[in-house]
Chains A and B, each alone.
Chain A
Amino acid sequence: MWQSDNFLRPPGARDEKEFLARCLQCGQCAQVCIFDCIKMRRGFNVFMAGTPEINPKAAPCHLCMRCSEICPSDALHDVDIYDVRMGFAELDQKKCLTWTEKLLCRTCYERCPIKWKAMILEAGEYPIITRECAGCGLCEYVCPVDAIVVTPTRFQKDREVASGEDV
């Protein structure tokens, strides 16, 4: 019954507090998801049970935007694919096959739904994730060496503060 807390919300989700205030827990987004990536959260937490989650390691979002289209209470609002901010993917250049020059691998780049915006190839070879990243988790799913990790948007403030201290 263990489940990770590091899940993503479906595309178009409002920020976590407002999302929880609006989500009816009806599971319609999970039922229309053709990629079976949206799951209803389980467990005994009465505030969270039944709300949608996406675990990119198990099944990533393909940004088809069906869920935000049908959400009856507007917890997922209908946004453009370029405005989706589910999370932010980070690429570990020490693990990446291309960056470590072991192999010419473009798996993540080829799978990215908004390539050339969210993911660019430096010098035509080395993948770089830009601020445009929607955080759908497709790259995390396909990466053969687990070099990419998606941080959900609700944890992002901590992450930015932490990285700011490093700089």
Chain B
Amino acid sequence: MKKRDLKTYRRAFQIFVALAFIIIPLLNRSRYSMVYGNFLSFHMFGIPLADPLAVLQLTIKNFYFTLDNFIGTLLPLLLALCLGTVFCSWICPYGLLSEWTQKLKKKILPRSYKGLPLVMPGFKVKVLVFCLGFIGFFLLSTTPVLNQLSTAAWYSRFFQYYFGQDVISLCFLFLLGLLVIEFIAGKRLWCRYVCPQSVLIIVTKLLNRKRLRVVFNAEKCICKPGYERCDMACTLSLHPKTLLDSLETECSNCGDCVLACKKMGSALHFTSFIRKSWFPAPQKAFKAFATVLVLTMVAAGGYVGYQKIDWFAPAKPDTIGSVVLTRYANEVYVLSLEVPDPNGIIKKIETNGKHIGMETMLTSVKKWINSPEIIVSEGSVPELPFTTNMNVIFHDGRTEAMTFETDTVIDNSSEVFDDPWF
């Protein structure tokens, strides 16, 4: 088995996020709404998260922002301030797709194929695109149009469209086109030269001089010039050995070059303001205890979640209802039928019986909790116990007969019955 290193964890987390944004619309579809949103704005168990650029656009145009948005932007910006642009290398699903495209290109195309030669420093182009976009946004519209350039948002939006409203959005052509262009160019063009969403987090990262970054120790380097392992490993095709300020702004701290260099002399390493002495090596017993605790929590959470989610919601008829006989003033006896139907599978409910000449028919009942009320008796006490027969007719054509026995009367004679039907 391959040794688990930083890259394994990184890839696993990337895949986890990418899968999560496929599963979340599916969960929402089965009425699980603790987690919802896409890469522009996201809510997770009440914790808001938001795209800083989207919020900036709103704030500039409205001179107003909501608390929700403010808290939502804090976390991504804080992450960028401490750890650099790890969003790009650890979270962004487009980054994952793009990295896989580069991997595929390396496997399929011959080594001699170099792709586009890139001389411009990426950050300058990115800022130019960002400024042009912002000027366009100011002149043209009041809507946050730069959101439409967010590839991560389009990725999550595709699944929102697909699972939420059964539409295959054409945005996948946009993503596919970008990936094909990057495949031919052999470089991650969008991430390095265009992506306006990353500009804000890069600027935030530059504010902190002691952030996590990759440094090079020239004395330890043993690679032959032109055959650097770190150059081959770098996911953004930067040159980790010569990370000058202009290139360092682009580095997303993925750590691949550090891993590659470990085998060749450990000339590259991360700096960090976090000291190792803050985190003493954990005892074995503590480790085992923590593992058990985490596993139990995950299992419990999964079980609770499983209980909450109605996987086969539309197929399961839930016709257990209730019948309540209430006595109102003036000796009016009213029977309330309640048949819960949260999924809209009931077409209509028919009652017939010994009640005073009224037949209830609810047509085209859709996702509605039916509670028709029937006046059973006016002026005299109905004979107890009596039975109510109901026919529940489902949209798929089935009919289910239900019978309820009523033997108690709820006294509500302080109120006059206000007939909602007449």
Contacts and interface: CB of A to CB of B under 8 A. Distances in A.
A34 B24 CA distance: 15
Interface in A87-122: 106-107, 110, 115
A83 B238 CA distance: 57
B48 A39 contact: no
B54 interface: yes
B143 A72 contact: no
A73 B363 contact: no
Interface in A1-30: 17-18, 20-28, 30
Contacts of B112: none
A50 B40 CA distance: 11
B145 A24 contact: no
Given A72-B41, A72-B69, A107 B363 contact: yes
B50 A72 contact: yes
A22 B161 CA distance: 21
A161 interface: no
A32 B28 contact: yes
A40 B50 contact: no
A72 B46 CA distance: 11
Given A24-B58, A31-B164, A72-B43, A46 B421 contact: no
Contact of A27 (B69, B164, B421): B164
Given A42-B169, A70-B43, A30 B164 contact: yes
B164 A46 contact: no
Interface residues of B, number: 48
B66 A46 contact: no
Interface string B379-422: 00000000000000000000000000000000000000000111
Given A70-B43, A107-B363, A26 B165 contact: no
Contacts of B153: 25
The 9 closest A-B CB pairs, nearest first, are: A26-B41, A21-B142, A31-B36, A31-B28, A26-B40, A72-B68, A20-B143, A47-B143, A46-B148
Interface of B: 24-25, 28, 31, 33, 36-38, 40-43, 48, 50-51, 54-55, 58, 61-62, 65-66, 68-69, 72, 141-145, 147-148, 153, 157, 160-161, 164-165, 167, 169, 342, 363-364, 367-368, 420-422
Interface of A: 17-18, 20-28, 30-32, 34-36, 39-40, 42, 46-47, 49-50, 62, 70, 72-74, 106-107, 110, 115, 124, 142
Given A21-B58, A23-B143, A110-B421, 9 more contacts: A24-B40, A24-B50, A24-B55, A27-B37, A31-B33, A31-B36, A32-B28, A34-B367, A50-B147
